[in-house]
């Protein structure tokens, strides 16, 4: 397991949410990596400080005022930030959405090609060369006509 994956699991390790095999893998990495061990010590120290801080009472009306300010900031956000939101969606949402869009495009193309007149996309049939039998038959006909003309001339001259 690499350092980034181990550090991403510090919170789960701290809260004892890791499955035993994964916890064993993380602990093995920590025993062999001094940088991750130091980072875990810093994380544990920070978590200890956060737990030692007492809870403070929130003044009345604090949350509604906070929500109101958040809405105002959201409305005042430039249009560029709104347009770029698609980029920040998790991949688990973007990939299925893109797959559905691609399938829809394929079906649309198939539907539209069925709606087109068939002459538009059907290639024109090329003339096939005459078969040898038809050429031979034609030659025989031409020869027979020439013979008949010769016989007629002979008959006319006699």
- The residue-averaged pLDDT of 27-40 equals 94
More confident residue, 24 or 73: 24
145 in a structural domain: no
DSSP the chain: --HHHHHHTHHHHHTT-S-HHHHHHHHHHHHH-HHHHHHHHHHHHHHHHHHHSPP-PPPTTHHHHHHHHHHHHHHHS-HHHHHTHHHHS-HHHHHHHHHHHHHHHHHHHHHHHHHS-HHHHSPPPPPPPPPHHHHHHHHHHHHHHHHHHHHHHHHHH-
124 in a structural domain: no
- The residue-averaged pLDDT of 43-61 equals 87
- On whether both 49 and 97 belong to a single domain, the answer is no
29 in a structural domain: yes
For 111, the domain range is: 90-118
- On whether both 3 and 52 belong to a single domain, the answer is yes
How many structural domains compose the chain? 2
- The residue-averaged pLDDT of 4-25 equals 91
156 in a structural domain: no
pTM value? 0.38
CA–CA separation, 139 and 133 (whole Å): 10
Residue 68 has pLDDT above 80, yes or no: yes
pLDDT given at position 86: 64
26 in a structural domain: yes
157 in a structural domain: no
135 in a structural domain: no
Q: What percent of the chain has pLDDT over 70?
A: 80
Residue 139 has pLDDT above 90, yes or no: no
- The residue-averaged pLDDT of 65-86 equals 76
69 in a structural domain: no
């Amino acid at each position: 397991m690499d350092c980034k994956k181990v550090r991403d699991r510090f919170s789960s390790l701290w809260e004892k949410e890791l499955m035993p095999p994964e916890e064993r893998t993380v602990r093995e990495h920590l025993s062999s990596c001094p940088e991750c061990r130091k980072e875990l010590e810093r994380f544990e120290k920070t978590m200890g400080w956060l737990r030692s801080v007492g809870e403070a009472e929130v003044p009345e009306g604090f949350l509604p005022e906070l929500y109101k300010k958040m809405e105002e900031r959201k409305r005042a956000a430039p249009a560029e930030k709104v347009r770029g939101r698609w980029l920040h969606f998790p991949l688990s949402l973007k990939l299925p959405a893109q797959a559905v869009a691609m399938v829809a495009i394929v079906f649309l193309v198939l539907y539209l090609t069925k709606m087109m007149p068939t002459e538009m996309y059907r290639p024109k049939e090329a003339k096939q060369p005459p078969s040898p039998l038809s050429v031979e038959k034609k030659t025989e006909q031409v020869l027979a006509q020439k013979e008949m003309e010769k016989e007629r001339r002979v008959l006319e001259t006699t």
